[in-house]
Structure 1
């Protein structure tokens, strides 16, 4: 089965087409984006997380957002090698990424071009004993600018959600 690539940008889903296809057939994958504001409430003495559509809530610096991509295989067969990308909006700071389907590999980027599993590493130049020395250091998740989920297989009718949490700057 051919590789399907699906790209999702902050709250905007863009479905790609199969490479080399003369006519665009209906996509075997549906994709729905949502931006939700995450708040905490106390109900019956317990703290619970409340998700509210960002268009219906006040979003201010410090607000935590859940940027979700919900997808479903609407074909009659399994899909393989699905790639879902999501940018971290520059007005936010990345916190974490999750995905509800099994067999997914999550990768991160700081430049939008190269992706790798966490922790990402970078080379920095520091001064030690009066000399410039290059050292490899771990990239803080707050420096991530995008997330990529590689979904190995999605069976017919199977659905899932991949999401990032980010804080508004």
Structure 2
């Protein structure tokens, strides 16, 4: 199965104290500026090779086609263009259709936190939960349990502050279905 990046190109949800949306086109990533923050979304094919026992990754920018099982890096570059520090910048990205979340997230730091959604972006948590119904002693019982990462629908970073002219690169990886 071959899918073009046009199908896999995700929408970038960027929020600066409020949500706003951006849909990326299939060509060169173009910056979008919202409330003094520039956002550029990129999607790269990840190719892994091992030589002499050393693992190396190569990134193919904006691949023209991908196959089931391929790993893609979803990356957003966030830059403060306002000219002064901006407090509380939230960057949310949906998991592209035809893919499943596979990790590789820019981890929490002292400056930002990462949360995930498993319900289409309605709620976020560092560890989303889901309700499952099981049968115990002949009765149906509903329990809340951690959602599997493959069920995640969005990744969101909340940055405590973005200094004047500061640039951050935030990323995660997905596997093509």
Q: Is the 8 A contact 2:38 2:81 kept in 1?
A: yes
Which of 1 and 2 has greater Rg? Answer: 1
Q: Which runs of 4+ in 1 moved over 4 A?
A: 4-18, 99-102
* Alignment gaps of 5+ in structure 2: 1-15
Q: After superposing the two structures, state which structure 1 stretch, 120-129 or 7-16, moved more.
A: 7-16
Aligned to 2:171: 163
**Any stretches of 5+ residues in structure 1 without a counterpart?**
19-27
How many Å separate the matches in 1 of 2:69 and 2:79? 32
Further displaced range: 4-13 or 96-105: 4-13
Q: Is the 8 A contact 2:121 2:153 kept in 1?
A: no
Contact 2:115 2:127 in 1 (8 A): no
**Inter-CA distance 64–110: structure 2 relative to 1 (3 Å threshold):** same
For residues 20-50 of structure 1, what are the alpha-carbon distances to aligned partners after superposition, in whole Å with 9 as ceiling and x for unaligned?
xxxxxxxx22211110001112356522111
What is the match of residue 95 of structure 1?
A: 102
TM-score for the superposition, normalised by structure 2: 0.77
The equivalences for 1:138-153 within 5 A come to: 138-153=146-161
The aligned counterpart of 1:82 is 89
Change in 2 beyond 3 A, CA 1:49/1:127: same
Alignment equivalent of 2:58, drawn from 32, 50, 58? 50
* 1:61 shift after superposition: 0.4
Equivalent of 2:68, from 43, 48, 61?
Answer: 61
Counterpart among 131, 134, 143 of residue 139 in structure 2: 131
CA distance in 1, matches of 2:78, 2:159: 11
- Equivalences, count: 158
Shift of 1:162: 1.1
Distance (Å, rounded) in 2 between the aligned partners of 1:45 and 1:132: 51
Q: What is the aligned counterpart of 2:115 among 107, 125, 143?
A: 107
TM-score by length of 1: 0.80
Q: CA RMSD of the aligned region, Å?
A: 2.6
Secondary structure, aligned partner of 2:66: coil
Take 1:159 and 1:106, find their aligned partners in 2: how far apart are those partners?
17
Deviation per CA, 1:106-157, whole angstroms, max 9, x where unpaired?
1111122433322211121111111111112110011000111111100011
State the match for 1:23 in structure 2: none
